[in-house]
Amino acid sequence: MAKLSQKKQQIFDAALLLFVEQGFYATSTASIAKQAQVATGTLFHHFSSKDKLIEQLYLSIKQEFANHVMQIRQQAPNLTLQQLAQQIWFGAIEWAMENPLKQRFFQQYSQSATINKAIKQQALASVYQLLEPLLVQGQQQSLVADYPMDLMLETCHGQFLTLSHFYIEQPHLWQNERYKQASFQLFWQAIGPR
């Protein structure tokens, strides 16, 4: 992904902070521009509306997350499917822990009733393209339940949102090995064969 201009990055950073603290509708474009220390006209030069800013921020965060997951997958070529799933799971939760504002924003927006469905599908596609082959492989090896793929992907996503929220709210528990291992076991059992 191309590096953002300094002004655009300032706007993203300011919007992220304000959206998480105040919500989407309570945050005005003027307050975003002020927080970013740019003119309101500069904000509208980069984003035609607040909705477009929200959408681009959402896509940017999801792509950053997908790139992180891709790196984990590429760095672990000789693991069993379960070991690889565990590496990806731990890496995904760690990304959320290291980026709590981004994860909170993502949770807020992905649960919003006003989310543009095409934008949501576009954002999730980058992650689902990485997960689907692993789930198919797991189904072929009878390690993963043979349920419809769209349902499986949504289940994985939902579990990640729930448990990342749990650990962001209680970060000390991620350092507890029992909790950390249990989080993966809960995930793995949820998608396992019946």
**Do residue 56 and residue 43 come from a single domain?**
no
What CATH code is carried by the domain that includes residue 176?
1.10.357.10
pLDDT of res. 3: 56
Question: Which residue from 27, 155, 179, 19 is spatially nearest to 97, judged by alpha carbons?
Answer: 179
- Its domain, for residue 28, covers 1-48
Could you tell me if 32 and 121 lie in one domain?
no
Same domain for 3 and 70, yes or no, is: no
Among 15, 30, 48, which residue terminates a domain? Answer: 48
Which residue, 12, 32, 48, sits at the end of a domain?
A: 48
Check residue 4 and give its pLDDT.
Answer: 63
| 58 in the same domain as 9 | no
Q: Are residues 18 and 111 in the same domain?
A: no
Based on the fold, state whether residues 108 and 66 are members of the same structural domain.
yes
Q: What is the CATH number of the domain that holds 28?
A: 1.10.10.60
89 and 167 together in one domain: yes
Q: How many domains does the chain have?
A: 2
**What's the pLDDT tens digit per position in 7-24?**
899 999 999 999 999 998
Position 187 pLDDT exceeds 80? yes
Query: Are both 36 and 57 inside the same structural domain?
Result: no
pLDDT value of residue 177: 96
**Is there a single domain that holds both residue 38 and residue 74?**
no
pLDDT at 16 (0 to 100):
96
Q: Are residues 11 and 24 in the same domain?
A: yes
Q: What is the pLDDT of residues 122-178, one digit of tens each?
A: 888 888 888 999 999 999 999 999 999 999 999 999 999 999 999 999 999 999 999
- Residue 1 pLDDT level (bands cut at 50, 70, 90): very low
pTM, to two decimals = 0.89
Q: Read off the pLDDT of each residue in 86-99 and give the average, rounded to a whole number.
A: 96
Q: Are residues 43 and 65 in the same domain?
A: no
Q: What is the mean pLDDT of the chain?
A: 91
Handedness of CA 86, 91, 94, 96 (dihedral sign): negative
Q: What is the DSSP string of the chain?
A: -PPPPHHHHHHHHHHHHHHHHH-STT--HHHHHHHHTS-HHHHHHH-SSHHHHHHHHHHHHHHHHHHHHHHHHHT-TTS-HHHHHHHHHHHHHHHHHH-HHHHHHHHHHHT-TT--HHHHHHHHHHHHHHHHHHHHHHHHTTSS----HHHHHHHHHHHHHHHHHHHHHSHHHHTSHHHHHHHHHHHHHHHS--
Residues 37 and 55 in one domain: no
Q: Is the pLDDT confidence value at 76 over 50? A: yes
Is the per-residue pLDDT at 2 higher than 60?
no
DSSP calls for 8-41? HHHHHHHHHHHHHHH-STT--HHHHHHHHTS-HH
Report whether pLDDT(87) > 90.
Answer: yes
Show the tokens assigned to 11.
């706007």
